[in-house]
Amino acid sequence: MRSKIVMFLSLIWCLALPSQADQLKVDGFATLDINISNSQTAGIRHVISQPDASYLGESSFANSSIGVQFEWQSSSQLQWVAQTVLKERKEYKLDYLIQMAFARYTLTPNWQFRIGRTGLDLYMMTEYRDIGFAFNYGHPPTEFYAVVPHQNLDGIDVTYTYPLEQSVLSYKLFAGRSNAPIVSDEDFIWDVELKSIYGMSLSLQTQNWLLRSNFTTTQAGNTNEQQVQLLSALQQIPNVVWPTRQALIESLQIKGKRFNYFTLGAHYDDSHWILQSELAYIDSDSEVLNHLKAGYISVGTHHDDDTWLLTLSAAKSNNRVDPGPLLTTPQLDALYHGVIRHTNFYLIDQHTWSVSWRRDLTSTLAAKVQLDHTQANHLPSAFYLHKNLSSGDHDRYFQSLGLSLNWVF
């Protein structure tokens, strides 16, 4: 049901393209990326839907991808856009492969409407975060861009553009729903559904500056089987054995909970100096993801074909760690471990310093190197996959190095 609009638009493409091939524009992009790390317990990844990570002695190609975008201008006012991206996933579904599939109708130079699958406009780099050539980082800052796995919206958006004397002001309203997987340890996967998404963004574009703000609200549309099992088990425990169990039951009941997302962003580029920053705050009715703050700031410079960036990114939540049952048994210990794994999935407290270098080899090919130094004050964390956590000797400081080639064609 959720994907009917996307499939309908894809069918229109199949029927119309043979007779309109001369009006079709096809672009491609690809990233070949290798990441190495010196961490033995925190598996480095940059999206929480990635099923692979790099550890000490184990490199990862999980950030590599290839994609194709189609644009068909069927009339002076109507354009059709589709984008597919192939990258490493836990499950390969047609729904995941279709990154965008929408119709864009330009009513006037000021008013634009889109329907179908568009980018979920939470971030400054929403529309091109899969196109490595389009940005200067080796990868978008993890502490900011990895928190929410959802990248697209099945729905509609309306944009009004108002030209000022030396700038352009844009308003966007959007509504729809979205699905995306979260992957964690022990082969855990949850296809997270967000329903009743409503959002608005405001942006101001000048010659060198882009300023934007966003507010998005949504509801959790589903839960996962493990949460249902944990809820059932908790309901059998007497309050005298586990005094805080009712609060845990409330935390695990995700379905129907409201989540609010706020962002502010700024980008400056005068062809010599670069400044970019985004800040986010997540509030909700659930303790699983509540009062989470994230952000980054980057300062850099262009010099001929080289671009250098220094970035500080951070994320912190205020989740409470449940003290657990008053008694200790193998069954209660296993239940407590499962509950903590779910309720504290977004227990995050870390920051990363990054140095990025980009060299434009040609007009369509760029090489990048990025070195990250991370201090993680709490493991496990939603950002990583993990090994050997039971030893209690967790890596708090670790480095990762990313090397990539980025093409557009």
Single-letter code of the amino acid located at 220: A
Query: Mean pLDDT over residues 384-391, rounded?
Result: 84
Question: CA 37, 39, 42, 46: dihedral to nearest 10 degrees?
Answer: -20
The whole-number pLDDT of residue 327 equals 86
The whole-number pLDDT of residue 50 equals 93
What digits encode the pLDDT tens for the residues 13-25?
A: 554 554 454 589 9
CATH architecture assignment, domain 110-408: Beta Barrel (2.40)
7 has pLDDT over 90: no
Dmax (CA) for the chain in angstroms is 73
Comparing CA positions, the residue from 108, 112, 114, 127 lying closest to residue 80 is: 114
Distance CA 323, CA 344 (A): 12
> What are the extents of the domains in the chain?
110-408
Provide the 10 A C-beta neighbour count for residue 253. Answer: 17
The whole-number pLDDT of residue 289 equals 82
291 has pLDDT over 80: yes
Q: What residues contact 299, with CB distance under 8 A and at least 6 apart? A: 273, 274, 275, 309, 310
What digits encode the pLDDT tens for the residues 340-361?
A: 888 888 889 999 999 999 999 9
Task: Band the pLDDT of 145: cuts 50, 70, 90.
Answer: very high
The whole-number pLDDT of residue 212 equals 97
5 has pLDDT over 70: no
Task: Band the pLDDT of 1: cuts 50, 70, 90.
Answer: very low
Average pLDDT, the chain: 91
**SS3 per residue for the chain:** CCCHHHHHHHHHHHHHHHHCHHHEEEEEEEEEEEEEECCCCEEECCCCCCCCCEEECECECCCCEEEEEEEEECCCCEEEEEEEEEECCCCCCHHHHEEEEEEEEECCCCEEEEEEEEECCCCCCHHHCCCHHHCCCCCCCHHHHCCCCCCEEEEEEEEEEEECCCCEEEEEEEEEEEEEEEEECCCEEEEEEEEEEEEEEEEEECCCEEEEEEEEEEEECCCCHHHHHHHHHHCCCCCCCCCCHHHHHHHHCCCCCEEEEEEEEEEEECCCEEEEEEEEEEEECCCCCCCEEEEEEEEEEEECCEEEEEEEEEEECCCCCCCCCCCCCHHHHHHHHHHHHHHCCCCCEEEEEEEEEEEECCCCEEEEEEEEEEEECCCCCCCCEECCHHHCCCCCEEEEEEEEEEEEC
76 has pLDDT over 70: yes
* Structure tokens, 344: 């504290």
Which is more confidently placed, 200 or 288? 200
Which is more confidently placed, 337 or 135? 135
Share of the chain above pLDDT 90, in %: 72
Q: For residue 214, list its beta bridge partners.
A: 201, 263
Query: Mean pLDDT over residues 17-39, rounded?
Result: 84
* Structure tokens, 172: 């966007």
The whole-number pLDDT of residue 10 equals 52
What digits encode the pLDDT tens for the residues 94-107?
A: 888 999 999 999 99
Q: What residues contact 362, with CB distance under 8 A and at least 6 apart? A: none
- CA-to-CA separations, 264 to 148, 214, 267, in angstroms, rounded: 16, 7, 11
Cα–Cα–Cα angle for 398, 399, 400, rounded to 5 degrees: 135
Comparing CA positions, the residue from 345, 340, 337, 290 lying closest to residue 318 is: 290
Which is more confidently placed, 208 or 230? 208
The whole-number pLDDT of residue 399 equals 97
The whole-number pLDDT of residue 22 equals 53
The whole-number pLDDT of residue 20 equals 52
The whole-number pLDDT of residue 198 equals 98
* Structure tokens, 205: 């574009």
